[in-house]
Structure 1
């Protein structure tokens, strides 16, 4: 069974053919959407436009992604995981989006991940929503608490979805009383987030040994001390024999004004297998280029890096960096026995100063990727851990059922 692009019978917000991403992908009784804002095509100006309050934008964004899920023969009750990318301008109004979500989903409790982003491609967009769905709504492992769970930004359930995948709510350094943990201490906050992730995972019969990715979001000041997280990661991760994939993105601020880091942790029920095509740099790192768990290939974030010399490639040239970045992703896919048609999703982070050139990435994707095109999300960040990098991509791929 192959991945298929979801093509709803009525998707009136914009004509969706001709892009290097799909509205969403489906396989059997499972679906994954791209990230969608409230953007609509305005024929009067011949362009996409986003307008309205946070509440209005949230309603439109959810209407779009739920229409896509319905196009795969699924419904709201089948949603297992929600990712909400909220912009800095939208963050003060985020409670309005949460209220819309609560109204729509009622007693149904997917896992909710909240990523604070510098902005979105559409400058007036406050929110971008991405969904994952499995017939029956997956398996609820931990119900949402009436009180905010320690270490989480929102009170969220934990649900096991497709192929034994378990997403956690975004881990933030805020204790059960709502106070910031380890003020001013980036490494201390990083440790707290991972330790709280382990607490939650152990409540559902897993641990950090089952982690397949840890994507962290920090502030630009963390560059100076980021290397010190190596010791924390070495202590807490990889004790099952395989380190998770990882990525690091910089935003000018996060959920709380005193917060220095947030971490999104994904785990799997399946045994973990390291996937490395021979890149020696990973021998001493606390993350892996790829982790196979069941039928899913989880990957680290990729940027334009020479894997042998560690040099950043093509400084100042976003298009060339995109070529090198996707070239490395495809190299890993080929080593794993896969191709671009097996890409399930790509999440692209472009640095804000290069937004005007972001359109240079689309022709690279058109040349290197292929239909049905991955479900994709693009967001704008303040910067990346290496200041020479202009783009970082978080990819995920799915092995065909017959190859499992």
Structure 2
């Protein structure tokens, strides 16, 4: 069985052929959507437009992704994880989007990830929604609490989805009373988020030893001290012999005033296998370029880095950076006997200063990737951990079924 692009019988918001991403991918009774905002094509002006209140935008964005799921024969009750990218402009109105989500999903509660982003590609967009789904909705490993748990942004279950993937809600450094922990202490907040993630995983019968990715979002002021997280990661992660993939993105602010970090953790039921095509730089790091768990290849964030010299490449050219970034991803895939057709998802973070030239990335994707095209999401950030980087990509791939 292979990945195939989802093509709903009707998708009135825009003509979706001709892009270097698909609306969503399906394999059997499993589906992954790209991230979608409320944007639609206005034939009167020949452009994509987006507008309206947070509630209106949330309804449209969810209608789009649920229409895509329906094209794969799935519905709201099959969703295992929701990712909501909410902008700084939309954050004060976020409860309106949450109310729409609760209305649409009713008693079925997927795991919820909420990523605060500086903005989306379309400036007026307040919210972007991405779904993972499997027939039956996967398995709830830990129910959502009546009140928000310590260390999480919203009440959310821990849920197992496709291929043993175990999703946690976004972890933030806020205690059960709503107070930010370790004020002003980035490393202390980072530790708290990972420790609380371990609490949730242990309640689901796993631990941080089973983590396959830890994607963190911090603020520009943390860049100078970010390296100090190495000791925390070395202590808390990699206990089974394999560090997870990782990525770090800088946003102007996060969910709460005084919050310096948020971390999204994914774990797996399967044994973990390190995937490294021979890049020695990872020998001393607390993250892996790739982790195989079951049929899924989870990867770290990639940017335009020379893997031998550690030099940041093409500092002022996002197109050339995209070429180097996707080249490294494809090199890792080739090492595993895979190619671009096995790419399941890509999440691109573009630095706001490079947004005027972001179109150059699509040309690179068109040249290096191929149909059915990965499910893709893009957001705009304040910066990346290396100030020379303009683009970072979080990729995931799927191995073909054996036999």
Fold in common (TM above 0.5): yes
Tell me what 1:391 maps to. Answer: 391
SS at match of 1:401: coil
How many Å apart are 1:101 and its aligned residue?
0.3
Matched, 1:195 2:195: yes
Matched, 1:17 2:17: yes
Write the distance in 2 (CA, Å) between the matches of 1:30 and 1:239.
Answer: 30
Write the distance in 1 (CA, Å) between the matches of 2:51 and 2:45.
Answer: 14
Tell me what 1:365 maps to. Answer: 365
Tell me what 1:40 maps to. Answer: 40
Tell me what 2:134 maps to. Answer: 134
Tell me what 2:288 maps to. Answer: 288
Tell me what 1:254 maps to. Answer: 254
Moved over 6 A (4+): none
* Unaligned residue ranges in structure 2 (runs of 5+): none
How many Å apart are 1:179 and its aligned residue?
0.4
| TM-superposition CA deviations, 1:205-255 (whole Å, max 9, x none) | 000000000000000010110000000000000011000000000001000
Write the distance in 1 (CA, Å) between the matches of 2:19 and 2:335.
Answer: 27
Matches within 5 A, 1:164-313: 164-313=164-313
Tell me what 1:375 maps to. Answer: 375
| TM-superposition CA deviations, 1:326-353 (whole Å, max 9, x none) | 0000000000111000000000000000
Tell me what 1:68 maps to. Answer: 68
Write the distance in 2 (CA, Å) between the matches of 1:257 and 1:158.
Answer: 26
Matched, 1:31 2:31: yes
TM-score by length of 2: 1.00
Write the distance in 2 (CA, Å) between the matches of 1:279 and 1:38.
Answer: 41
SS at match of 1:12: coil
Tell me what 2:152 maps to. Answer: 152
Two-structure CA RMSD over aligned residues (Å): 0.5
Tell me what 1:344 maps to. Answer: 344
How many Å apart are 1:310 and its aligned residue?
0.0
Write the distance in 2 (CA, Å) between the matches of 1:100 and 1:183.
Answer: 33
How many Å apart are 1:401 and its aligned residue?
1.2
Write the distance in 2 (CA, Å) between the matches of 1:103 and 1:158.
Answer: 20
Write the distance in 2 (CA, Å) between the matches of 1:330 and 1:48.
Answer: 31
Write the distance in 2 (CA, Å) between the matches of 1:221 and 1:371.
Answer: 40
SS at match of 2:198: helix
Write the distance in 2 (CA, Å) between the matches of 1:74 and 1:83.
Answer: 17
Residue-pair matches, total: 403
TM-score by length of 1: 0.99
Write the distance in 2 (CA, Å) between the matches of 1:139 and 1:41.
Answer: 37
SS at match of 2:305: coil
Write the distance in 1 (CA, Å) between the matches of 2:402 and 2:48.
Answer: 40
* Unaligned residue ranges in structure 1 (runs of 5+): none
How many Å apart are 1:402 and its aligned residue?
2.2
Write the distance in 2 (CA, Å) between the matches of 1:239 and 1:179.
Answer: 30
SS at match of 2:263: strand
